[in-house]
Amino acid sequence: MNRRRQGRRLLRRFIPVGLALPLVAFVLVTFVIPLATMVVQSVHDPEVADAFPRTLALLADWEDSALPSPDVYEAMAAELVLSRENRSIGKVATRVNRIESGTRSVFAKTARRLESADTSDMPASMIQIDRRWGDVSLWRAIVKAGQRYTARHYLQSIDLERGLDGEIQLVSEERRIYKTLYLRTVYVSFAVTVSCFLIGYPIAFAITSVSDSLAKILLVIVLVPFWTSLLVRTTSWLVLLQNQGVINDILVWIGLVDDGSRLALVHNMTGTLIAMTHVLLPFMILPLYAVMRSIPPVYMRAAASLGANPFQAFARVYFPQSLPGVSAGCLLVFILSLGYYITPALVGGAKGQLISNMIAYHIQTSLNWGLAAAISVVVLVGVFVCYFLFDRWVGIDKLKLG
């Protein structure tokens, strides 16, 4: 009897947990596991270590000022042939090539020619096949690439590298691309947030102050872009903004702009800003509207009765009370902008690319997933920093999304 009741109580406690299980499983499969894989990917790089275990073991106590001993060359030769047989040599070559560029061809070529080479003096034969085997920098690159766990990708994702002496240093000037991209991403996110706020606040205010039926219509107008495909919205901006597009045509037609000097509105930063502001505007308006609607109009009356003119009443009474909506909208838009990808890819051109486009490049084109993962983690950390700053200054409990 008692045990049965206890069982029932236990069951009752687990029913809510059980109802949440599908969500937990979903989040686990679609979010936690990929995220964890990504983080692991960014530091775990086993390809070279798996291919050349013996060589790397021998190289462990190699002084990297002189060429390694002949037995290292012999081990290397054996493992090169082996990795050619099991077709891992391409991946290995790519890894080493990322560290010491121009070395991609060395590995396949050497492995192929080793079959018919003289094995008595392996160092000489290998150097004969490719003279770069006589260069310490190739051996250094192999050692570096042979690290199973590496901070290399993280260093690279913030424009750093380990120098010859192991000191962390800035990469050479022409290779510093990520810092610019991070700064540009933050700048674009900030600009998009500000313009969303400047456009969205009056709209949300208008929706709260008109009659209910008109408010419904305005809300639908705000939401319609939300319901149309992101691609359609973005490409329609191309139509509007391009050199021979609607906006330039109108500007030329009314004589504001000379036909020869049409404005470059797209395939640059301007295009990215305009299109992203449009796409993210609902994320600003909706939380603002939700908060503004909960501000009773009696406060404005009270302010007026106390002698505040409409501007003072707005600035001192209304606006401070709408701040939870402002901060929620800004946080949403800013964080969404940090990771925005499709819009800059389509309308941004070369100058309007953001950090997420670089992640996509490393995943799809350069196939350097480790670096892509490292950049993603850097962005993720940035998002968390924003979140915690927000919590510190505003308080996450003040966040009202609707």
Partner 1 sequence: MTIGSPEEPKREVHIAFERVVKSYDGRTQVVKDLNLEILRGEFLTLLGPSGSGKTTCLMMLAGFEALTSGNITIDGRPVHDIAPHKRGIGMVFQHYALFPHLTVGRNLAFPLEVRGLGPSERNSRVRRALQLVRLEGLEKRKPANLSGGQQQRVAIARALVFEPEIVLMDEPLGALDRRLREEMQFEIRRIHQQLGVTMVYVTHDQQEAMVLSNRVAVFREGRIEQIAAPETLYEEPGGVFVSSFIGDNNVLYGEVREVRDNDICHVTIGQDRDVKAFAGEATRPGEPVWIAIRPERVGIATSDNQYSNQFDARVNDIVFMGDHLRLHVETCGIHNLVLKIPNIVGHGAVLPGDDIQIGWAALDCRALSIESKNSL
Q: Residues 129, 181, 265, 317: which binds partner 1 (CB under 8 A)?
A: 317
What's the min distance (Å) between Cβ of 284 and partner 1? 21
What's the min distance (Å) between Cβ of 315 and partner 1? 10
> Which lies closer to partner 1 via its Cβ, residue 221 or residue 323?
323
What's the min distance (Å) between Cβ of 302 and partner 1? 4
Q: Could you say whether residue 163 binds partner 1 (CB under 8 A)? A: no
Q: Could you say whether residue 9 binds partner 1 (CB under 8 A)? A: no
What's the min distance (Å) between Cβ of 208 and partner 1? 17
| Residues near partner 1 (CB under 8 A), total | 20
HSE-CB of 47 using CA atoms within 13 angstroms: 21
In 3D space, the residue among 138, 376, 140, 343 whose CA is nearest the CA of residue 232 turns out to be: 343
Which amino acid is present at 5? Answer: R
- Residue 246 in tokens: 């609607």
What's the min distance (Å) between Cβ of 203 and partner 1? 23
Q: Could you say whether residue 316 binds partner 1 (CB under 8 A)? A: yes
> Which lies closer to partner 1 via its Cβ, residue 183 or residue 306?
306
> Which lies closer to partner 1 via its Cβ, residue 187 or residue 299?
299
Binding mask 319-358 for partner 1 (x = CB under 8 A): -xx-x-----------------------------------
Q: At a CB cut-off of 8 Å and minimum separation 6, what does 396 contact?
A: 387, 390
Distance separating alpha carbons of residues 166 and 164, to the nearest angstrom: 5
What's the min distance (Å) between Cβ of 325 and partner 1? 13
State which of positions 284-303 bind partner 1 (CB under 8 A).
Answer: 296, 298-299, 301-303
Distance separating alpha carbons of residues 294 and 52, to the nearest angstrom: 66
What's the min distance (Å) between Cβ of 396 and partner 1? 18
Q: Which residues here bind partner 1, judged by CB under 8 A?
A: 296, 298-299, 301-310, 312-313, 316-317, 320-321, 323
